[in-house]
């Protein structure tokens, strides 16, 4: 479950992303207009790709805007929860902005020519209502989309299969376009316009009776047009266009851009049909024959139909005859010009600073002396209270005497904006700040306890290591002294044997085996440490079944065998070992 302030900032970020998407849509529409004006004689596929890239930029811009606003709002709320920052001009503004989720990257009304603060405050106060209305409309749009997709599935199930010769013809036409997918052809009495539906299992729906009432050549060109839609994957892209329109249903710039993309999509399919058709007049006749038939009729919703109106077919026929793409009409140019002028005007007023000496509305000039120490006590007497700022400063330091100056240099003035926030929201903010401070204090106590415990553990470990070192030194001194004393009493014993007696008692057989193994390794008699064996007794030393050199045998016998009955048998192979030791 997300914290309450994060859920609140998500709502604010959605609200302001929707608002910012309006001018993003205007910019996307202006960019689309530039593409249409500058690519009048280029191929339709180039115009389509440029417009699609424009749409991708719009969606990416909206996503980046949402991420930026959400991150900024969360950071501001987190700073406000930890504690109110100190400063001068940002003192009251920080608390007021955090209380209303900041301005979310908008303009500061106290620094611009036009005061947008009332509009910003109004939108902040009604952000939840705006998002609720948008969610309701989005749900209706998505419900309509799902209903249309269900209707398309029903058409697929209720369609009738035509004669087999048309399926063979459709297979040949697919080969002409290089389409590898298997496409079904169905007739339906519920549609009036040919349409292509489906992405993984595409189907072409034609009106009932069209295959028998139109000439075969014209029917083939119509089928080629629908196959071109399937080859290009227009059914999937068409669904994506409807989804973007469902999310930004209120954005006229986006809807106009999607209309241009759909128009250029039809032009791309027309060019693909003409590229494989020997006589283009056959395709033109097929479009003209549909002209009267399509008046007031459209294909199934959310499908890729042959045409959606009389004007659409007219400009397509004109384009194929004149080899020129459609440009912008007078109305479209006028609307784009007005939108561009509005964006420029808002940008200029937002970026023009207020003239020095004329403070902005709703500001209180406060004269501060350097250095400045600012505090912001918040008082609550009515539901809507005024947040005031108190600036305390130490006594001023007299300036250095100047021969020509008669009056002290004036100190700079600081302008603090006067904001008002709702009382209930202010009380909730204070409670949130208090809870966050208590939680932060708890974290600090836990951290201090962990540091103290680590220091104590380090001291205990150091004391233990020192004690072990002293005990080891004393033990070695005692062992050395006892060995020297026994050597004096028994000259027949060497000092090495005495030390071996102290270092390696008879019960520690593993260390003896390891010592013998190390001696054999130093002598170069054990080439493989993972698989070897040795047998040491008073008569011989066998390593891997072979007699060892006599010097090595005498040295090991003198060191490790104390009687004629002692012997060491050891074998190691891989991870398994076998040991046989006898010591008197």
* DSSP calls for 148-184: HHHHHHHHHHH-B---HHHHHHHHHHHHHHT--S--E
Please state, in angstroms and rounded to a whole number, the distance separating the CA atoms of residues 425 and 255. Answer: 38
Please state, in angstroms and rounded to a whole number, the distance separating the CA atoms of residues 185 and 161. Answer: 7
Alpha carbon distances (Å) from 122 to 103, 118, 278, 403: 11, 6, 64, 56
Q: What number of CA atoms fall less than 13 Å from residue 331's CA on the CB side? A: 1
pTM of the model: 0.55
Q: Which phi-psi region, left, alpha or beta, contains residue 209 (left: φ > 0; alpha: ψ -120 to 50)?
A: left
Please state, in angstroms and rounded to a whole number, the distance separating the CA atoms of residues 85 and 78. Answer: 12
Tokens matching residue 426: 């202010």
Please state, in angstroms and rounded to a whole number, the distance separating the CA atoms of residues 516 and 535. Answer: 10
pLDDT by position in tens, the chain (length 584): 456 656 788 888 999 999 999 999 999 999 999 999 898 888 999 999 999 999 999 999 999 999 999 888 888 877 776 654 433 333 333 333 434 444 444 444 445 556 667 888 888 888 899 999 999 999 999 999 999 899 888 888 888 887 778 888 888 998 888 888 889 999 888 888 888 998 888 999 988 888 887 888 888 888 999 999 999 999 999 999 999 999 999 999 999 999 999 999 999 999 999 988 888 888 888 887 766 555 545 556 656 666 555 566 777 888 888 777 877 877 887 888 887 787 777 777 666 554 444 444 444 444 444 444 444 444 434 444 444 444 444 555 555 554 444 444 444 444 444 444 555 555 666 777 777 777 777 777 888 888 887 888 878 777 777 777 777 666 666 655 655 665 566 555 444 554 444 444 444 567 788 888 888 888 888 888 788 888 988 888 988 888 988 888 888 888 888 887 888 888 888 778 888 887 76
- Residue 87, SS3? coil
Tokens matching residue 34: 């530039």
Instruction: Give residue-wise pLDDT tens across range 133-173.
Output: 999 999 999 999 999 899 888 888 888 887 778 888 888 99
**Contact status, residue 101 vs residue 12, Cβ threshold 8 Å:** yes
Please state, in angstroms and rounded to a whole number, the distance separating the CA atoms of residues 441 and 450. Answer: 14
If we measure between CA atoms, which residue out of 529, 558, 561, 526 comes closest to residue 544?
526
- Sign of the dihedral through C-alpha 435, 436, 438, 442: positive
Tokens matching residue 520: 């054999």
The number of residues in the chain equals: 584
- 459-482 b/e (C-beta count within 10 Å ≥ 16 → b): eeeeeeeeeeeeeeeeeeeeeeee
- Residue 542, SS3? strand
Please state, in angstroms and rounded to a whole number, the distance separating the CA atoms of residues 205 and 212. Answer: 15
Please state, in angstroms and rounded to a whole number, the distance separating the CA atoms of residues 262 and 316. Answer: 12
DSSP state of 363: E
Residues 6+ apart with CB under 8 A from 199: 233, 235, 236
């Amino acid at each position: 479950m997300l914290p309450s302030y994060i859920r609140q900032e998500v709502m604010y970020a959605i609200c302001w992303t929707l608002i910012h998407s309006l001018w993003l849509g205007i910019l996307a529409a202006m960019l689309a207009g530039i593409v249409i004006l500058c690519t009048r004689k280029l191929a339709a596929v180039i115009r389509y790709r440029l417009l699609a890239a424009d749409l991708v930029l719009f969606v990416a811009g909206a996503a980046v805007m949402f991420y930026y606003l959400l991150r900024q709002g969360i950071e501001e709320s987190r700073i406000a929860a930890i504690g109110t920052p100190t400063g001068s001009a940002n003192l009251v503004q920080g608390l007021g902005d955090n209380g209303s989720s900041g301005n979310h990257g908008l303009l500061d009304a106290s620094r611009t020519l036009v005061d947008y603060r009332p509009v910003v405050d109004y939108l902040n106060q009604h952000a939840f209502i705006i998002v609720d209305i948008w969610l309701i409309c989005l749900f209706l749009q998505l419900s309509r989309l799902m209903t249309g997709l269900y209707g398309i599935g029903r058409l697929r199930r209720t369609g009738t299969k035509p004669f087999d010769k048309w399926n063979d013809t459709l297979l040949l036409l697919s080969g002409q376009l290089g389409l590898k997918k298997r496409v079904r052809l169905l007739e339906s009495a519920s549609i009036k316009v040919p349409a292509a539906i489906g992405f993984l299992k595409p189907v072409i729906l034609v009106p009932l009776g069209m295959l028998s009432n139109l000439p075969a050549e014209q029917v083939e060109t119509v089928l080629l047009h629908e196959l071109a839609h399937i080859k290009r994957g227009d059914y999937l892209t068409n669904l994506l266009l409807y989804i973007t329109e469902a999310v930004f249903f209120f954005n006229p710039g986006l809807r106009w851009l999607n209309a241009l993309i759909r128009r250029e999509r039809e032009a791309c399919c027309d060019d693909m049909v003409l590229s494989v058709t020997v006589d283009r007049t056959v395709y033109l006749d097929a479009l003209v024959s549909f002209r009267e038939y399509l008046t007031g009729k459209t294909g199934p919703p959310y499908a890729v139909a042959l045409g959606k109106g009389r004007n659409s077919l007219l400009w397509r026929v004109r384009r194929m005859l004149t080899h020129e793409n459609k440009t912008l009409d007078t109305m479209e140019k006028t609307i784009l010009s007005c939108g561009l002028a509005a964006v420029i005007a808002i940008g200029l007023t937002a970026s023009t600073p207020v003239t020095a000496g004329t403070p902005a509305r709703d500001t209180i000039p406060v004269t501060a002396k350097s250095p400045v120490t600012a505090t912001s006590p918040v008082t609550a007497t009515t539901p809507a209270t005024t947040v005031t700022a108190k600036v305390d400063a130490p006594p001023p330091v007299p300036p250095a005497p100047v021969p020509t100056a008669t009056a002290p240099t004036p100190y700079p003035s600081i302008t603090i904006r006067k904001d008002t926030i709702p009382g209930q929201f202010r009380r909730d903010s204070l409670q949130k700040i208090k809870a966050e401070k208590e939680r932060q204090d708890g974290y600090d106590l836990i951290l201090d306890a962990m540091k103290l415990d680590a220091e104590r553990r380090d001291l205990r470990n150091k004391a233990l290591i020192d004690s072990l070192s002293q005990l080891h030194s004393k033990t070695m001194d005692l062992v050395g002294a006892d060995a020297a004393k026994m050597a004096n009493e028994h000259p027949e014993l060497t000092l090495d044997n005495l030390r071996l007696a102290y270092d390696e008692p008879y019960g520690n057989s593993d260390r003896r085996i390891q010592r013998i193994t190390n001696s054999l390794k130093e002598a170069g008699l054990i080439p493989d440490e993972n698989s070897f064996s040795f047998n040491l007794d008073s008569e011989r030393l066998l390593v891997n079944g072979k007699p060892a050199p006599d010097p090595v045998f005498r040295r090991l016998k003198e060191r490790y065998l104390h009687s004629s009955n002692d012997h060491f048998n050891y074998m190691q192979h891989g991870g398994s070992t076998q040991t046989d030791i006898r010591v008197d």
